[in-house]
């Protein structure tokens, strides 16, 4: 009897811990589904909720909102918050050329992630669970950017990113995170990695400024329907107006933030003419177009990206408009005829093992969404980013790992 009481008390304590920290409890003796759905058998003869069912657990579709039910901390003020990888929102959307609305992107992507949970994060594609690789991943909340002053907002995003980038890692990183990355940092230390939820694409400029202070110039793998290397030229009425979600890579190149072996993937926008491509090359990029995928196939797309980036420290920036608007309609500048979500995911799997210093997903504008379709796609791609950062090489195809056998 005593052992039953002790075990009930322990169970209650574990459930209470899970309720306060909705990420999966590694020490829990409960089946993962019991943690996710509070499916503990009721205690007989009890009347109160706590006695009968245990604590008021957060279900996958209830409770406070964090990415994938991760532990949530206001890391900019909470210097004790420990992490190897931080998910960070940048709700900035005041430098766009067409539809605004990506200030709601970080919240939208978190909503799209609600069915994700560390206790159920193993995928056949990767053959692993990114939350069970000995790496501390938390949601660091959003940068409270000023919505009225773009210059101030850019500075705030840079300071926020630098603040987290300069924190000590939680010291329980996997080998993939601790590999050769120290060699790239000026201080030869390991720095946390930040997965940023945009925001319009302009947020990458302050991110690259912050990364430059730690790593110097870095290469960029840029998934997008658009080049984003637009030369602001003489048309800008002010220095601030030069910095938009279509010109930030041009500005980054002016400032010496990017290496000249960067690459675009998924380009299909309409341009003024071939001069746009010459300008793009002068900014340090090479184009893999949307159509190229049909002509050369996914393995060759992956090979070309890997070959161009090589061993450089590299930043991954993914504009959700690279995906066809039929599969990701909620974005500011949709372009018809894009890649499928599945194709983008397969390319990302092929990039594992490159020297990633950080990643983002941008341009999710939930007001234009239907049934959370874009937010769910974006949240799923973030799961791939995390798996990619945990892997030393691309996963073998499932058929290689577990060959199909015809039954006789
Ligand atoms: Mn873009």
Mind listing the domains of the chain with CATH numbers?
2-53 (no CATH), 67-390 (3.40.800.10)
Q: Give this prediction's pTM.
A: 0.92
| C-alpha 265 – ligand 1 centre gap (Å) | 11
| C-alpha 280 – ligand 1 centre gap (Å) | 14
Give the C-alpha distances (Å, rounded to integers) separating 233 from 9, 57, 236, 242, 390.
Answer: 68, 56, 7, 8, 41
User: Distance (Å, rounded) from C-alpha 69 to C-alpha 377?
Assistant: 17
Q: What pLDDT score was predicted for residue 174?
A: 61
User: Distance (Å, rounded) from C-alpha 244 to C-alpha 234?
Assistant: 14
Q: Which protein residues have a CB closer than 5 Å to ligand 1 (ion)?
A: 201, 224, 228, 319
| C-alpha 100 – ligand 1 centre gap (Å) | 13
Averaged pLDDT score across all residues of the chain? 91
| C-alpha 107 – ligand 1 centre gap (Å) | 19
Instruction: Report the side by side order of strands in the sheet with 137-142.
Output: 137-142, 85-90, 193-198, 355-362, 313-319, 219-223, 262-267, 285-289
| C-alpha 223 – ligand 1 centre gap (Å) | 8
Give the C-alpha distances (Å, rounded to integers) separating 145 from 96, 155, 158, 252, 313.
Answer: 16, 9, 11, 20, 28
| C-alpha 87 – ligand 1 centre gap (Å) | 20
- pLDDT, tens digit (0-9, with 9 covering 90-100), for 168-211: 999 765 665 656 789 999 999 999 999 999 999 999 999 999 99
Q: Read off the pLDDT of each residue in 394-404 and give the average, rounded to a whole number.
A: 94
50 vs 299: which has the higher pLDDT: 299
For 67, the token pair is 């990415």
Predicted confidence band of residue 27 (pLDDT cuts 50, 70, 90): low
| C-alpha 226 – ligand 1 centre gap (Å) | 6
């Amino acid at each position: 009897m005593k052992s039953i009481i002790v075990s009930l008390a322990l169970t209650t304590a574990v459930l209470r811990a899970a309720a306060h920290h909705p990420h999966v409890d590694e020490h829990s003796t409960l089946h993962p589904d019991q943690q996710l759905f509070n499916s503990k058998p009721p205690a007989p003869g009890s009347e109160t909720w706590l006695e009968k069912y245990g604590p008021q657990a957060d279900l996958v579709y209830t409770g406070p909102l964090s990415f994938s039910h991760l532990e949530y901390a206001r890391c900019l003020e909470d210097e004790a918050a420990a992490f190897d990888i931080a998910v960070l929102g940048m709700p900035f959307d005041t430098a766009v050329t067409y539809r605004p609305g990506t200030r709601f992107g970080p919240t939208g992507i978190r909503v799209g992630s609600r069915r994700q949970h560390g206790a159920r994060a193993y995928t056949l594609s990767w053959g692993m669970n990114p939350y069970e690789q000995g790496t501390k991943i938390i949601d660091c909340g959003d940068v409270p950017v000023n919505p009225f002053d773009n210059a101030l907002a850019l500075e705030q995003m840079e300071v926020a990113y630098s603040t987290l980038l300069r924190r000590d890692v939680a010291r329980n990183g996997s080998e993939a995170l601790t590999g050769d990355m120290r060699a790239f940092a000026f201080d030869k230390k390991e720095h946390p990695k930040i997965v940023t939820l945009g925001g319009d694409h302009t947020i990458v400029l302050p991110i690259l400024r912050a990364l430059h202070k730690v790593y110097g110039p870095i290469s960029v793998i840029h998934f997008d329907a658009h080049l984003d290397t637009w030369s602001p030229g003489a048309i800008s009425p002010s220095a601030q107006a030069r910095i938009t979600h279509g010109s930030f890579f041009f500005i980054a190149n002016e400032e010496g933030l990017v290496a000249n072996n960067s690459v675009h993937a998924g380009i299909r926008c309409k341009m003024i003419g071939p001069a746009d491509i010459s300008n793009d090359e002068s900014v340090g990029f090479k184009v893999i177009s949307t159509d190229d995928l049909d002509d050369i196939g996914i393995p060759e797309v992956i090979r070309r990206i890997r070959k161009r980036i090589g061993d450089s420290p590299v930043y991954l920036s993914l504009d959700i408009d690279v995906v066809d608007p039929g599969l990701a309609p909620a974005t500011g500048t949709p372009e018809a005829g894009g890649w499928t979500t599945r194709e983008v995911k397969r390319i990302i799997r092929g990039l594992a093992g490159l020297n990633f210093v950080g990643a983002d997903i941008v341009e999710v504008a939930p007001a234009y969404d239907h049934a959370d379709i874009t937010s769910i796609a974006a949240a799923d791609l973030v799961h791939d980013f995390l798996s990619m950062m945990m892997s030393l090489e691309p996963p073998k195809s499932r058929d290689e790992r577990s060959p199909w056998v015809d039954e006789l």
